[in-house]
Structure formats: C-alpha cells, structure tokens
Amino acid sequence: MRNATHEELLTRAKALNLPTQHHIDGLAESGSGATFAVVAPRDGQILTHVADAGEAEVGLAVAAARRAFDSGPWPRLAPTDRGRILLRIAELLDERREELALTVSLEMGKPVTDAYDIELRAVINTFRWYGELADKLTDESPHTAPDALALITREPAGVVGAVVPWNFPLTLAGWKVAPALAAGCTVVLKPSESSPLSALLLGRIGTAAGLPPGVLNVVTGDGPTAGRAIGLHPDIDVLAFTGSTAVGRHFLHYAADSNLKQVWLELGGKSPNIILPDAPDLEKAAATAAWGIFFNQGEMCTAPSRLLVHSSIAEQVTEAVVRRARELKVGDPLAPATEMGALVSEAHLDHVLDHIATGQAAGARLRTGGERTLTTTGGSFLQPTVFDRVDPGMRLAREEIFGPVLSVLTFDDLDEAVRLANATEYGLAAGLWTSDLSTAHQVSRALKAGTVWVNCYEEGDLTVPFGGMKQSGNGRDKSAHALEKYTELKTTWIQL
C-alpha cells in the first residue's frame, strides 16, 4: 500500500464492498429496515446507508450475547483456546489491513497512511497481545490457618456493552473487545454512527476467526437511541465507554436507572504539554508539540492542546510550532502525501470554528490557521491553527475542542507551570520536557493525569494502562489491568 499512488488508492476505495447490516449472533441482520447515511468527510458524499438500530435490534444483540455467555462455549473454553481465536482475529485483521485502512480513512477522514501504519498496527497488536495473555493469568490462594483453604478467582463478568467513538474506530474498539473476550465475556459493540463500517467488518472478522455465534455482536445506530438502549438494558453486566464527558454522565444515569451495571468511562481531555528551558532538544520538543496537536486532525482525547512554555523560550518554541503548522500538508485522506486529513463532519468543523471565533473575540492572538481550506472539495478541512497570548480563563484553555487548535500559555516558574497544568476539570494525559531527573519525577508526581510522558508524547505499548483522572474518567484500557473491568472477584473459603 505504501507504494500505491493516489489514483490507485481512489480506485481501490471505490471497489470496497462496504458492510451495511448489523452483525448479530454471527449473522448479518437488517433489523427493522431503517437506515442512516454514512458520509465521507473528504468530499461530503454518501458512502452508503447502514442499518439503524433501535431498542429491538439492541435487544436482539443483547439476547444473543446473553445466550452465548449463559449457555454457550465461550466462557467455558480453556483460556488457551480463547487465545488462539484472538490470535486468529489478529491474523485476519493483518490480511485485510489495506481494506480496513481504506474504510477507516473514508468514514472518518484520517490520512490512509496513518490508518494503515498506526490504527491498524494498534488494533492488530491489541488482539495479538491479549491472545497471548489469555492463558497466562493466575488466581490467588492466600495463606490461611491449616484447617481451611481460601481461593480468590477472577470470573468473566458477563455481557459487555462497548460504546466507542469515531476518532480511532478500530483501535478503541479493540482496546475493549479484546480484553473482554480474553476474560471470557461476550460483547455488544456499538460504534459511532460516524464510523460504523470498520466495526461491522471487525464483527465479521471475529466470526470468520472462530468466535461462536453471539460472542461478538455489532449494532449500528446513534447514541440517544441505540446507545441509550445499551446503557439501560438489564442483561448487560458491564458498560465500557469512550467519548465525551457529557455522554459519560448519561451512562452513569442509565446504570442507576437499570441494573446498576458496572460503568467504565474513558472521557475527554485538555492535556498540558510543559516545555522547560532545560529541555534536552527544544526543536524536537516543538516538533512533537506540533505533531501531537495536528495528528489525527487534533481529534484525539490525549491531544496536547495546551502548550505551556517557559516565558524565556516561549517565542522560540511558538515560532517553531507555527512554522511546522504552515508546512503541514492538508489534503485528501486517500492521497499518500497527506499529513492531515478532514475533520469527521461538517457539524464538527462548525464546532471547532466556533471555538476559534470565540478565542479571537476573547483576545487570544491567532498566529496561523483558523479558517476552512480546500473548500472546493466539499470536504470538512481546516487549517492547522495556533493561538498564543491565551489566558487560562479563556474557553480556548478550558474546553476540549477536539480539533487541530493549539493554545500556547506561558509561565515563569515550575510551581506556576504545575498550577496551570492542573487547572482543568480533566486529567487524562500530560507531557513534560526537561533534562533534570529530579524535576521529571517531582513534576510527574504533581500532575493530575493518568499518563505523563517525559521528553516524548503519545509513546508506550500494550504493557502499560491507559485512562484518566478527575472528569477524564475511570478504569483503564490496555495492559493486564484492563481485564479488571471484565472480571469479577470471587472468594471461596473451604473448611477442611
């Protein structure tokens, strides 16, 4: 794929056989016949119409998952056998990597090279990692008095409802589906209505890999209808959600109003990226800051959207970021040379433009960008945007924009930097650039964030957990810790 031309990728994209039906009980299911349009953000054209789930379709999917859990083989398989099927899913994802990358690029607008190199790599590695982990988990037997035996076992929690967003439609689905399946749970997955196609393909790949019917179901529909039905359904035991803080609150209410299901939330962020004068490489720090906010069109919950720079180096760093923003190649997501694609929809583009207008009206200085671009394409494209002279109280500095918009704030000492970094309702991620080991440890401990990157950003692998603090949510994706969301602890005390 890397050597394919723009024209070749356009031809391959047109030849895709896009799925349109739910995936329930191992089969394609049209449900009531109601559909909704999936629009390509690259040109505003309708890609296809996909089945629209209501309560009835969600009920069918949950019933299938319930049967598969209560009486099917999946929770009762040896962990080794579950692991083999997860590894087979990884193999099939790899075999269909180009098809999936093109689908992701078409439905949500990211550059196809990023979809292929980053998104697909991540989801393939996720299923492979949990497939290899499945038979390596251990229970506990604490020391007791000689006349008793105590066992602490982890059992699969049951039916999992997984609701995931559009910005990384396969990666974030994989982060929930793979550990849930490894634990022995069954799953009802609802992707965003903006990016349902790749998730439907994932459901079909799961069945082709050997998942028994009902183990992985995919229903497509909107949040207020299908998402709400999943949140309220009494036969769902665990709800795992990635998305906005506002919607996360709804799922907590749904759980309270139904069966008190466990709810695990990975929500928004307004992540600080602190650059100190003793950063080991200021050019690299600035380049990484620019990459972090413009990667995936800024549609990333961990995006380093607040750049906190020491006043003595602020102009040097800001100018380097601005220069990179102006050099960035914005274009058709299907063009191999494109570095930043289209925002997911016209509605989201309008949302981001509103933030930009509000920032200018509040007195922040627009250094570059701030306007639509490539308007003749019909796509939802925005120039990479940088503001400086941003006051901490401005909307630019407080609210998650979820777009390629950077706010630069300055500080004069380390205590002020930490105060600014923590002055947010979010606590998902943070970055720090310094050459001093003590500073790295002290500031990392002081930052209220689930992940702190030092002299890098967005680095890591599946061995480490991912999640937030404060209103960025609870629970963790990735690593062995993710299995805690999908298992229940049971104590068995045997009197000998």
Catalytic positions: 266, 301
Three-state secondary structure readout of 420-439: HHHCCCEECEEEEECCCHHH
Tokens matching residue 432: 């720090």
Residue pair 378/391 in contact by the 8 Å Cβ criterion: no
Tokens coding 355: 């933030």
Which residues, at least 6 apart from 457, have a Cβ–Cβ distance to it below 8 Å? 273, 288, 289, 291, 292, 304, 431
Q: Going by C-beta distance under 8 Å and a sequence separation of 6 or more, which residues neighbour residue 132?
A: 83, 87
Angle, helix 120-133 to helix 97-108, in steps of 10 degrees = 120
Reference 284, options 457, 49, 473; nearest CA is 457
Q: Is the dihedral of CA 416, 420, 421, 426 positive or negative?
A: positive
Half-sphere exposure of 293 (CA within 13 A, CB side): 30
CA distances from 417 to 150, 272, 322, 424, 446 (A): 49, 9, 22, 13, 11
Token reading at 52: 């629209």
In the block, residue with structure tokens 């994209």: 13
